[in-house]
């Protein structure tokens, strides 16, 4: 499992599509692999309209190598 911070939120949204888009932008040559290997995405806590910060987003992968690739890229991203 991997965590993602700072994903902007709206009340009714497809968080999985949003996270997949973010991950694919980090590793452009692995779109199909990322889409296939992301299993479950959920956010911690309840949505509140007046929150100052976005909730933590957890990502569960079916393949450890894809998770490690994204983790490595995330450490070098600004």
- pLDDT reading at 78 higher than 60: no
Q: Which two tokens stand for residue 54?
A: 């976005």
pLDDT in tens, 2-22: 677 677 777 777 888 888 888
Percent of the chain topping pLDDT 90? 13
**What are the phi and psi torsion angles at 72 (to 5°)?**
-65, -45
Over range 52-65, report the average pLDDT.
Answer: 86
Q: Which two tokens stand for residue 10?
A: 């709206």
> How far is 25 from 22, CA to CA, in rounded Å?
5
Q: Which two tokens stand for residue 52?
A: 């100052």
- The pLDDT confidence band at residue 62, using thresholds 50, 70 and 90, is very high
Residue found under tokens 């992301």: 38
Cβ-contact 7, 18 below 8 angstroms = yes
């Amino acid at each position: 499992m991997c965590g993602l911070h700072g994903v902007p939120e709206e009340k009714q949204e497809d968080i999985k599509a949003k996270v997949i888009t973010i991950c694919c932008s980090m590793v452009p040559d692995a779109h199909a692999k990322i889409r296939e290997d992301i299993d479950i995405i959920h956010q911690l806590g309840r949505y509140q309209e007046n929150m100052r910060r976005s909730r933590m987003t957890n990502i569960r992968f079916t393949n450890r190598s894809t998770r490690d690739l994204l983790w490595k890229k995330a450490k070098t991203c600004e």
